[in-house]
Structure 1
Amino acid sequence: MARIAVIGAGMGAMAAAARLAVAGHRVTVYERTETYGGAVRRLERDGFAFDTGPGLLPLPAVYRDLFVKTGKEPLEDRVQLVQVDPAARHVFADGTEVSLPNASRAGVVTALDTALGQGTGRRWGDFLVRAREAWDRTRRPLLEEPLWPDWPVLAEREPYPAVPHKRLLRTRRAGTLAEVGAWELRDQRLAALLESHALAHGLDPRTAPASAAVLPYMEHAFGIWYVRGGLRELARAVYERCVARRVEFVFGTEVARIVEKDGRATGVEFAEGGAAEAEFVVAGVAPEALSGFVGSAALRGEGQVPAQHGLPSRLTVLLALRGGRPEGTAHRTVVHAEDRESELDALFGTSPGMPARPTVTVLRPDDPALVPDGEHEAITLTATVPALPGADEQAGRKALEAQADRMITAAERAVPGLRDRILWRETRTPADIARETGAAGGAVPAPALAAAGGRLLHPANSTGIDGLFAVGGWSHPGGGLPHAGMSGAMVAGLVVEGPEFRGSQ
């Protein structure tokens, strides 16, 4: 039995902790804030409750597997999973709308043909077939196995089987997600539908590789789910599973340094004094924090994937409304920007700023646990924004509140009269994300993707220091709730089985 120190109580860190405890290790989690869950948090006020992080769960099989492997009580005995149907309603720039059924290719094809015109459904369906091929080629190396030592193979090969496209007497294949939309989907609304999946993860579709096609494919193939009571309930269930497996949590304790001796991690030291010895250290923190803990050039071994920097953040607007949720309302609506190119230029240009007309995701859960009574509704708006560039949080806050107003204006295209129903609102900014997760500027990590020269891969879970492992969204396989759970499984496997661990079979 080894002593294992886990830094941070995010979802990936807790997933690793539970698995390691079941394997017989003595696990202690040190969390600098006063609660668990990382970005998966909740705000409660006046009988309303809101998720302040992720609001939906893709690929719930990851957490089902966690609960199967860490005890007899399955996930569904701890939380109530609800499949969201329709998966999403889309409101496009030209005013057309479509509601896409959850995990039904035939239903999606029919819905698109009816709403956008004959042939659009077939083109989207054909795209999903190609996206599945990209998924099949990358699923194991990107999601189920530790990052390959020869990871440049993943960086160089584009797994998406793009359709040949003749342009100016030359035959080309799409290399970016935007080119897939323009050349293969051939409809601005379908292109906007495709690109919104990248934008939701903070990726510019004009530079994201064609392999980003796996993002909409995951949702299509495995469905999108909601946890009754909010996604915070999933965090609670994972935390309680850890406690049941005798994982010890120490909250309000900030790690200042990872102790290293003869090239191996041997424990942690705390900001307020004191230390704890450990045979293994698992760090679920952002790259800047991990580098600060070690202060060693050996943190990343020679030839490893470098940590990602410069990623955007999210702005979340929580709206407490008078008036109940109308029956038949879609749980999720994506209101697409009226000028997609201008939005991307603003977000990903040389001087990132706030788009004047942002793409906004509107979440309207049908969940009595989130409202004081049936005469009120809780709505969450989210949009991608630049991470905080520097120190002046007050100036940044003013700009973000102005952007929140623009988000409400955009959301009124999907919820007429929204502004008149608002009782109060709370704006959650990149500064809030930075405080809760420790990520510089409140940046949010994207899932790992193949191709693009390795730019969208994440550092391996193993580090250049023996006994030190990285877990969570800033390490392989990247950001997102499913990816965090997979990261925890990989780290546990590497600790228990050693470097020969090759992932789930």
Structure 2
Amino acid sequence: MVADKVFGMARIAVIGAGTGAMAAAARLAVAGHRVTVYERTRTYGGAVRRFERDGFSFDTGPGLLPLPAVWRDLFVKTGKEPLEACVETVQVDPSSRHVFADGTEVALPNASRAGVVAALEESLGSGAGQRWGDFLVRAREAWDRTRRPLLEEPLWADWRVLAEREPYPALPRRKLLRTRRAGTLAEVGVRELGDARLTALLESHALAHGLDPRTAPASAAVLPYMEHAFGLWYVRGGLRELARAVYERCLARRVEFRFGAEVTAVHEKDGRAAGVELADGTVGEAEFVVAGVAPGALDRLSGSTAVRAAGDVPGRAGAASRLTVLLALRGGRPAGTAHRTVVHARDREAELDALFGAVPDLAPRPTVTVLRPDDPGLVPDAGHEAVVLSAVVPAGFGAVAADRLAGRLVSVAERAIPGLRDRLLWHEVRTPADIARETGAEGGAVPAPSLAAAEGRLLHPANGTRLAGLFTVGGWSHPGGGLAHAGMSGALVAGLIVEGPEFRGSQ
């Protein structure tokens, strides 16, 4: 990684207006630099978009906010108005309701280990809550070991240390003196949870990020831990409101946005990035370039320059995508309805084979996440409800297959919403092609957060590159995908540019 400390004001070109890129832009502008954001589409936000029709409004990207402290930090560091003065955040409680294959249901309180343990004991039987609670203690150990290097610090030059060491603790084997370490998340479920429903609960956190629990490392245990330890939040008006607030903070800090401006190349001069070349032939000169683009796009922009060379993090291959079905329903949202319900697949193995097998196919009855926000701003009146269904699909999933699968999502969702079809006014299907169009990611792939172990397969490349003055930001670079991680990538890139290679992350 090559980086320079900035002395005085510098011109900085940011490619893309995703949330991570805008987070970097706001921080760099506050540090006194002249920042221009070039976005090929007509709006900001990347995957954080909104669909509106007939008085209904839906998030088409993320629907819930983990680790809001990341965004609170951005607003504190970039202006006098805190995050809560710009958007209304609401803690979701329960954090989720789960409908398991056997029909058992459980609602899990938000950010309460004791409450979760009690709910699982009551719904799944004696011992279930205790086993899950014990698992969370071990997951916390993995979190404590990886939090700084995988979220708060630039990627270590010796990243192989993270790739080779499994941070999830080994457990003593019964009646034996030696210990045994789980290699995958699925092994954690089988060895430690002892209940198919608890295993489904565990594995659903990996699946939600497009990860196969049978191959995802045991360190993926940090995913449910983060949710249980720090809670889940909703932004009133939808997560698009968060993107709007970050965009407006950038404008307040005098960041310039150029929409409909497609960058075709990173301009180089004297062996370093010197600006960007646009589709219309113009060049935007800059001392630093920050690219918030997918890996394939970065390769095209850098031309013959090997910005990712041998020895760099391999990066995640075969990323999954997401199919989303937006439902406009007649009849208001019933009181006490959970914001999020996860309806688990009846045949978990068949679902995983369909998604991650040699020839990806339609899952027969996929795991479906049902979002039902308690937000009057999303509907024309109290007599209607806006619901979002989503399921993981292979990247590049075709429109015809997606339309067929959309019907299956609605059928599965009926287990969570009785009488759903009778209430349906209309629906809209959002496919991987829509994600690809909005983000530029090939096949509409959605990046997962970085995870330790697994030989580095689930690490993302460092924010610095082998071309001096060129940095990367957003879900396809360290620390990976998700709103919280994207926000941290913006902080890391700003730190590396302002403070130089000695920057070691937030304290």
Q: TM-score range by the shorter chain?
A: over 0.9
Counterpart residue identity of residue 449, structure 2: P
1:170 Cα deviation after fit: 9.2
1:474 Cα deviation after fit: 0.1
Consecutive unaligned residues of structure 1, counting only runs of 5 or more, are 390-395
1:348 aligns with 356
1:279 aligns with one of 279, 282, 287: 287
Matched-pair identity in %: 79
Q: Is the CA contact (8 Å cut-off) linking 1:287 and 1:307 kept in structure 2?
A: no
**Equivalences for residues 419-430 of structure 1 within 5 A:** 419-430=421-432
1:300 Cα deviation after fit: 1.7
What do residues 352-401 of structure 1 show as CA deviations (whole Å, max 9, x unaligned)?
A: 11101100000000000000001000000010001116xxxxxx211101
Task: Name which of structure 1's ranges 158-167 and 126-135 shifts more when overlaid on structure 2.
Answer: 158-167
**Counterparts of 2:66 and 2:60 in 1: how far apart (Å)?**
17
Q: Is the CA contact (8 Å cut-off) linking 2:343 and 2:415 kept in structure 1?
A: yes
**Equivalences for residues 141-156 of structure 1 within 5 A:** 141-156=149-164
What do residues 394-436 of structure 1 show as CA deviations (whole Å, max 9, x unaligned)?
A: xx21110110100010010111111111100000000000000
Q: Is the CA contact (8 Å cut-off) linking 1:332 and 1:361 kept in structure 2?
A: yes
1:70 aligns with 78
2:5 aligns with none
Task: Name which of structure 1's ranges 380-389 and 51-60 shifts more when overlaid on structure 2.
Answer: 380-389
1:302 Cα deviation after fit: 4.5
2:440 aligns with one of 429, 438, 441: 438
1:393 aligns with none
Counterpart residue identity of residue 492, structure 2: M
Q: Is the CA contact (8 Å cut-off) linking 1:165 and 1:173 kept in structure 2?
A: no
1:310 Cα deviation after fit: 1.2
Please, what is the CA RMSD of the aligned residues? 1.3
Say if 1:498 and 1:86 are closer, same or farther in 2 by CA, change over 3 A. same
2:92 aligns with 84
1:177 aligns with 185
**Equivalences for residues 33-432 of structure 1 within 5 A:** 33-165=41-173, 172-388=180-396, 396-432=398-434
**Counterparts of 2:309 and 2:319 in 1: how far apart (Å)?**
23
What is the number of residues matched between the two proteins? 499
1:172 Cα deviation after fit: 3.3
3-state SS of 2:323 partner? strand
3-state SS of 2:506 partner? coil
Consecutive unaligned residues of structure 2, counting only runs of 5 or more, are 1-8
3-state SS of 1:475 partner? coil
1:482 aligns with 484
**Counterparts of 1:75 and 1:400 in 2: how far apart (Å)?**
37
2:3 aligns with none
What do residues 218-269 of structure 1 show as CA deviations (whole Å, max 9, x unaligned)?
A: 0001000000000000000000000000000000010000011232000110
Say if 1:407 and 1:168 are closer, same or farther in 2 by CA, change over 3 A. farther
Q: Is the CA contact (8 Å cut-off) linking 2:172 and 2:178 kept in structure 1?
A: no
Task: Name which of structure 1's ranges 266-275 and 233-242 shifts more when overlaid on structure 2.
Answer: 266-275
2:4 aligns with none
1:459 aligns with one of 458, 461, 468: 461
**Counterparts of 2:24 and 2:501 in 1: how far apart (Å)?**
16
1:298 Cα deviation after fit: 2.4
**Counterparts of 2:176 and 2:413 in 1: how far apart (Å)?**
40
1:493 aligns with one of 490, 495, 500: 495
Structure 1 runs (4+) deviating above 3 angstroms are: 164-172
1:169 Cα deviation after fit: 12
**Counterparts of 1:308 and 1:121 in 2: how far apart (Å)?**
34
Counterpart residue identity of residue 464, structure 2: S
**Counterparts of 2:401 and 2:249 in 1: how far apart (Å)?**
41
3-state SS of 1:276 partner? strand
**Counterparts of 1:167 and 1:203 in 2: how far apart (Å)?**
34
**Counterparts of 2:486 and 2:25 in 1: how far apart (Å)?**
12
Counterpart residue identity of residue 265, structure 1: A
Q: Is the CA contact (8 Å cut-off) linking 1:301 and 1:463 kept in structure 2?
A: no
